[in-house]
Chains A and B, each alone.
Chain A
Amino acid sequence: NAGVTQTPKFQVLKTGQSMTLQCAQDMNHNSMYWYRQDPGMGLRLIYYSASEGTTDKGEVPNGYNVSRLNKREFSLRLESAAPSQTSVYFCASDSGFGNQPQHFGDGTRLSIL
């Protein structure tokens, strides 16, 4: 049971480099989400995709872009990485109907020097 798969698991970047985080789900879910988790801050929503072909900003979208490639895949791109983007990034998915919980991937630990 794969569920939500994120790649890579770890990455170190230099300031100004770009990077794409990948996420795929195999549960036929309509909605997908990107969160970041920082110490003492809980999980904060970056972007989400309610359904294939749509994306919307969350609480902390600055410095990020997303692409809903198809129903299974939702990627997060950092165009010019900054040290403030050092965080653990989680992808999640759900049916989009509000009656089922979100399922999370194992996260990507990203460090920007």
Chain B
Amino acid sequence: EDKVVQSPLSLVVHEGDTVTLNCSYEVTNFRSLLWYKQEKKAPTFLFMLTSSGIEKKSGRLSSILDKKELFSILNITATQTGDSAVYLCATSSNSGYALNFGKGTSLLVTP
């Protein structure tokens, strides 16, 4: 059975801190790993990773995938209160269409 495990489940940091969110996975016929940010409503897409060792970057956020060790990390530098959200990790498989989600990491950034 495919599995996605995120850690920590929740995290509180001060503005300006750097955070690292973790996602480990077990997927049959792995295709990609995705990160989403969820505030009040819809999950919004951050990154899609398919190749090992290649960092994807967008502003203060970056992510990397390790296909040998079966994990990914999402880094946020110089955190701001607007980064407060639930961060979801999901995997896709070449065997199917749907995403398999982890339970999410709830991040709270305090002023």
Q: How large is the interface on A (under 10, 10 to 19, 20 to 34, 35 or more residues)?
A: 20 to 34
Residues from chain A with a CB closer than 8 A to the CB of B90 are: 43
* Interface set of A (CB-CB < 8 Å, partner B): 4, 31, 33, 35, 40-45, 48, 50, 58, 90, 96, 98, 100-107
Chief secondary structure at chain B's binding surface: strand
Q: Which residues of A contact B88 (CB under 8 A)?
A: 42-43
- Residue of B42, B48, B98 near A58 (CB, 8 A) is B98
CA distance in complex: A100, B34 (Å): 10
Instruction: Choose among A31, A44, A104 the residue that contacts B43 (Cβ–Cβ < 8 A).
Output: A104
9 contacts between A and B (CB under 8 A): A33-B98, A42-B103, A43-B43, A44-B101, A90-B42, A98-B92, A98-B94, A102-B99, A107-B42
Query: Which of A31, A35, A98 counts the most B-chain CB atoms under 10 A from its CB?
Result: A98
